[in-house]
Structure 1
Amino acid sequence: MAILVFLNAWLLTRLWFTFRDRPLPTREWTVLALVQVVLVGVLTPGLHTLALVATVIASLALSEALVPEERLNAGRLAGGALVGMVAFLSAHFGSPGSWLLPVQQPEVLRPAMLGLLGFLLVANETNLAIRTLLHRFQMEPTTPTKGETRTVDDREYNAGRVIGMLERWLIYLVVVFAQNYNVIALILAAKGFARFRQMDEREFAEYVLIGTLASLLFTIVIGQSILYFL
């Protein structure tokens, strides 16, 4: 339970990455690292806290200072996975407690923490995974410039990010609470209708299709995983 509290608080701080498409300045990511280190303080002291502190700092240094800018999203995703893995090992082998939780932990807290964990995972973390996938296969939306070169269309990319997050949150709520997959078809149909005219462009259609399918896949996997642990 204590690790769930830490992970939810830590994932909340990682929402800072959501609209940051460039490496954070040294001062900014250092402050973020300090905030995340303070969050480790919700856990009772032990080797697990030392391991998490080192991992939190290393994960931010990896993505914001060591990894090339063109691999920024992959670096952030890898750093997040590293912290998640160390947190899982800490919970499995150490069973750390937290001073925030009562000695007799109410059973209702665990489903609430797990539900919030999935909700946060389908936001920024899934966004990082999808953007890494699109960059790997050069499927980002582009706009023509002078000559034959094309640059990433930041306006479309940002719109896709917001639409994708709202879409995933809706699907996640449907998967976890309603468990009625017919509603997902309505959500995807509404998205397709809104972008119907743009689908004539092959590159844009491929970008939307890959992004939507990846978004759907990640969200269902996360939602089913949360249901399993519930």
Structure 2
Amino acid sequence: MTTGPATPPPIRVVLAEDQALIRDSLKVLIDATPGLTTVGEAGTGAEAVTLTGRWRPDVVLMDVRMPVMDGIEATRRICAAPGNAGVRVLILTTFDLDEYVHASLRAGASGFVLKSATAPELLAAIRVVASGEALLAPTATRRLIARFLRTPAPAAATRDLGDITRREREVLTLVGTGLSNTEIAGHLHLSVGTVKTHIGRLLAKLGARDRAQLVIAAYESGLVTLPEAR
């Protein structure tokens, strides 16, 4: 008897949102989507930290403004915990609060999604972050992040590129501009597998958690510069 390929386990999500109505709506949406499931619901940042430690989800969908502990501090604690190495944080934000994007990424978030996003966009964002990619590719997202990376980083946060190779420097520069692995491969005339290898080495050498942190490293090291604001 021939059996088909095994069905991958669902992406496990912890919801951190202090407004019960929004949280309930998100839970219904996620649980109704094949391949996704909610494993915990938090109404405060402190609860999000506790639930993440308990369930070790694939993704924490994190609101920024919450009581007891805000989403940025909760993200920082989640990403700093050794047992949460495989957990990715996806920040929920609005244009009115987009100043939090910069701090969220520095705290270890893997990306962000606007509260005005459609249901398909939100679900796609969860999948992208769960796959290990950073949700930084869309032009509008890159522009928004660049706006806040104009703010000088604290001295302690400035990245020293150390002993990265010339090719790794080229890859890091392109990662910083928001290009995908496929786009980087085409630009440098490499295979996608080779690009992934270079990115893996960059993550290790720079002590970066994921691709989002590489983007910040590219800006903070000066590899990627920003056009003058208009």
RCO (CA 8 Å, sep 6+): is it higher in 1 or 2?
Answer: 1
Above 0.5 in TM-score? no
Shorter-chain TM-score bucket reads under 0.3
The structure with the greater share of residues assigned to strand is 2
**TM-score, L = length of structure 2:** 0.26
Structure exhibiting the larger radius of gyration computed from Cα positions: 1
Q: TM-score, normalised by structure 1?
A: 0.26
Choose between structure 1 and 2: higher helix proportion.
Answer: 1
